[in-house]
Amino acid sequence: MSEQTPPNPTQNAEKDPETWVTGDEPMTGPQKSYLETLAREAGQDLPEEITKAQASELIDELQQKTGRGAS
Protein backbone atom coordinates (compact mmCIF):
# COMPACT_ATOMS: atom_id res chain seq x y z
CA MET A 1 0.00 0.00 0.00
CA SER A 2 1.34 3.44 -0.83
CA GLU A 3 1.02 6.36 1.54
CA GLN A 4 -1.12 9.19 0.34
CA THR A 5 -0.02 12.74 0.91
CA PRO A 6 -2.58 14.92 2.67
CA PRO A 7 -4.20 17.46 0.38
CA ASN A 8 -2.49 20.80 0.07
CA PRO A 9 -4.89 23.49 1.36
CA THR A 10 -3.66 25.96 -1.27
CA GLN A 11 -4.63 23.57 -4.07
CA ASN A 12 -8.31 24.10 -3.35
CA ALA A 13 -8.36 27.84 -3.81
CA GLU A 14 -11.82 29.34 -3.65
CA LYS A 15 -13.68 29.51 -6.92
CA ASP A 16 -14.85 32.87 -8.12
CA PRO A 17 -18.59 33.09 -7.32
CA GLU A 18 -19.19 34.31 -10.88
CA THR A 19 -18.13 30.86 -12.14
CA TRP A 20 -20.33 28.80 -9.80
CA VAL A 21 -22.69 26.42 -11.57
CA THR A 22 -25.45 27.23 -9.06
CA GLY A 23 -24.41 30.85 -8.56
CA ASP A 24 -27.56 32.19 -10.18
CA GLU A 25 -29.86 30.36 -7.77
CA PRO A 26 -31.44 32.31 -4.88
CA MET A 27 -29.24 32.76 -1.81
CA THR A 28 -29.48 30.01 0.78
CA GLY A 29 -31.13 30.34 4.19
CA PRO A 30 -27.79 30.35 6.03
CA GLN A 31 -26.43 33.01 3.67
CA LYS A 32 -29.47 35.20 4.29
CA SER A 33 -29.25 34.79 8.05
CA TYR A 34 -25.55 35.64 8.15
CA LEU A 35 -26.02 38.56 5.76
CA GLU A 36 -28.77 39.97 7.97
CA THR A 37 -26.37 39.91 10.92
CA LEU A 38 -23.51 41.45 8.95
CA ALA A 39 -25.72 44.11 7.36
CA ARG A 40 -27.11 45.10 10.76
CA GLU A 41 -23.58 45.40 12.19
CA ALA A 42 -22.42 47.39 9.16
CA GLY A 43 -25.48 49.66 9.24
CA GLN A 44 -26.51 48.65 5.73
CA ASP A 45 -29.74 47.51 4.15
CA LEU A 46 -29.81 44.03 2.64
CA PRO A 47 -31.19 43.58 -0.89
CA GLU A 48 -34.29 41.37 -0.94
CA GLU A 49 -33.56 39.12 -3.90
CA ILE A 50 -29.95 38.21 -4.60
CA THR A 51 -28.25 35.10 -5.94
CA LYS A 52 -25.93 32.72 -4.13
CA ALA A 53 -22.96 34.26 -5.93
CA GLN A 54 -24.03 37.82 -5.09
CA ALA A 55 -24.62 36.80 -1.46
CA SER A 56 -21.14 35.32 -1.24
CA GLU A 57 -19.56 38.48 -2.60
CA LEU A 58 -21.64 40.65 -0.25
CA ILE A 59 -20.63 38.47 2.71
CA ASP A 60 -16.96 39.03 1.83
CA GLU A 61 -17.53 42.78 1.53
CA LEU A 62 -19.43 43.06 4.81
CA GLN A 63 -16.93 40.88 6.66
CA GLN A 64 -14.27 43.40 5.68
CA LYS A 65 -16.39 46.28 6.98
CA THR A 66 -17.29 44.58 10.26
CA GLY A 67 -14.00 42.81 10.94
CA ARG A 68 -15.70 39.42 11.00
CA GLY A 69 -14.67 36.30 9.15
CA ALA A 70 -11.32 35.00 8.07
CA SER A 71 -8.51 37.44 7.70
2 pLDDT more than 80: no
For the chain, give the number of residues. Answer: 71
pLDDT in tens, 22-70: 778 999 999 999 999 999 999 999 988 999 999 999 999 999 999 987 6
Looking at the domain assignment, is residue 30 inside a domain? yes
Looking at the domain assignment, is residue 1 inside a domain? no
Domain that holds residue 69: 24-71
Looking at the domain assignment, is residue 47 inside a domain? yes
What is the CB neighbour count within 10 angstroms for residue 35?
21
Looking at the domain assignment, is residue 15 inside a domain? no
11 pLDDT more than 50: no
**Predicted pLDDT of residue 4:** 56
How many domains is the chain built from?
1
The rounded distance, in Å, linking the Cα atoms of 32 and 43 is: 16
For the chain, what is the mean pLDDT? 81
